[in-house]
């Protein structure tokens, strides 16, 4: 059981480049999330999805886009990368059940230079 | 605006001692309060969680104490071990309110070091 899988694990981007962070889960979870983690700042929600075709903004959505065409996949797109987007990105998923646990992937460490 | 405030930022505890991490929240509508544990290079993983209708929940060496009137909750780790060394995040969400997304609002984290 793979759980939540993120690729790539590490990436260096130049300012202005674009990239897609991949996230897939094999637990048939309805809900999926993207968080970014900066040192000493906890995790902040970028975007979330409550099901295929439905996405919504979180606390820090600027500079990012998402799509959810299938239950399994929830890619995060960075357009025109900026140094402020240097962070560790975590994808998570959960069931559509009250109080359920969110399962996190192992993260993607992104550096924008 | 930080909705969940966590302290301390770092904590050093002797092996066998008690580790205590505190969190305070602002939104009285929050109805689910989990704690996540994160080891270096890994994603956070659920450790223990509580709902506001109980004042305490214990699982093994880990206990959550909840004070609804003060809008505070804390994690106690009894008999702390070097293997407990990790970053701990408190969080809050509207899990039972029907708001729909169960998104978590996290504290900034506490780095716990348990020394032999």
| Nearest-by-CA chain A residue for B42 | A106
**B44 in contact with A, Cβ within 8 Å:** yes
Closest approach of chain B CAs to the CA of A85, in angstroms? 18
| DSSP-assigned letter for residue B98 | S
| Model pLDDT for residues B72-84, shown as the tens digit of each residue | 999 999 999 999 9
Asked if B34's CB is within 8 angstroms of A101's CB, the reply is: yes
Asked if A44's CB is within 8 angstroms of B101's CB, the reply is: no
Q: Is the pLDDT of residue A55 over 70?
A: yes
pLDDT at B19: 98
Residue whose pair of structure tokens reads 């609002």 in the numeric block: B105
Asked if B96's CB is within 8 angstroms of A104's CB, the reply is: no
Q: In whole angstroms, how far apart are CA B99 and each of B2, B29, B95, B102, B105?
A: 20, 10, 8, 7, 14
| Best to test chain B binding among A98, A105, A106 (most B CBs inside 10 Å) | A98
**Do residues A22 and A40 touch, judged by C-beta distance below 8 A?**
no
The alpha carbon dihedral of B57, B61, B62, B68 has a sign of positive
The residue-averaged pLDDT of B15-22 equals: 98
The residue length of chain B stands at: 116
The alpha carbon dihedral of A78, B92, B102, B46 has a sign of positive
């Amino acid at each position: 059981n793979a759980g939540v899988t993120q690729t790539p694990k590490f990436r260096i981007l130049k300012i202005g480049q674009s990239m897609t962070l991949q996230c897939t889960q094999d637990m048939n979870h309805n809900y999926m999330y993207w968080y970014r983690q900066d040192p000493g700042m906890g995790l902040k929600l970028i975007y979330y999805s409550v099901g295929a075709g439905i996405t919504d903004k979180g606390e820090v959505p600027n500079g990012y886009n998402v799509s959810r065409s299938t239950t399994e996949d929830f890619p995060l797109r960075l357009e025109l990368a900026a140094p402020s987007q240097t962070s560790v990105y975590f994808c998570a998923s959960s069931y559509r059940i009250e109080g359920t646990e969110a399962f996190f992937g192992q993260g993607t460490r992104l550096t924008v230079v | 605006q930080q909705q969940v405030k966590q302290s301390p930022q770092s904590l050093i505890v002797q092996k066998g001692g008690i580790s205590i991490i505190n969190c305070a929240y602002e939104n009285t509508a929050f109805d689910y309060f989990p704690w996540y544990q994160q080891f270096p290079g890994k994603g956070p993983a659920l450790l223990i969680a509580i709902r506001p209708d109980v004042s305490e929940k214990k699982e093994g060496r880990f206990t959550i104490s909840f004070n609804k009137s003060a809008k505070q909750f804390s994690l106690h780790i009894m008999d702390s071990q070097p293997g407990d060394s990790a970053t701990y995040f408190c969080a809050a969400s509207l899990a039972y309110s029907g708001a729909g997304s169960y998104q978590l609002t996290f504290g900034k984290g506490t780095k716990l070091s348990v020394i032999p």
